[in-house]
Amino acid sequence: MSYEKVLQASNLIVGTKQTVRALKSGHVKEVFVALDADPRITDNIIFIANEMDVPIIKVDSMKKLGKACGIDVRATTVAIIQ
């Protein structure tokens, strides 16, 4: 279900730095975090998303998350923006 939501979204931000920037600007509706990513990277995003009251959806695979975004590389985080 989660990957389908990413596939159907029209406004995506892929990547850690861009996700953090979008969270801080207040434009994020949902954040997707891959569970197989390094927690040193994802913990900060999860913390910021919780601070901003943005829902966090955890998915099992960086590779599948990247594929759902239409890219050929793995994705640690993806944000759906307004």
pLDDT in tens, 22-45: 999 999 999 999 999 999 999 999
Residue 82 is predicted with a pLDDT of 86
Instruction: Give one word for 2, left, alpha or beta, with left for phi > 0 and alpha for psi -120 to 50.
Output: alpha
**pLDDT tens string 47-57:** 999 999 999 99
Q: Which tokens sit at 59? A: 């998915």
Measuring CA to CA, which residue among 31, 37, 29 is closest to residue 75? 37
Q: Give this prediction's pTM.
A: 0.92
Q: At 42, give phi and psi (nearest 5°).
A: -75, -30
The architecture CATH gives domain 2-81:
2-Layer Sandwich (3.30)
Contacts of 4 (CB under 8 A, 6+ apart): 68
Q: How do the domains of the chain map onto residue ranges?
A: 2-81
Q: Which tokens sit at 32? A: 């997707």
pLDDT range class, residue 2, cuts 50, 70, 90:
confident
Report, as an integer, the average pLDDT of 6-13: 90
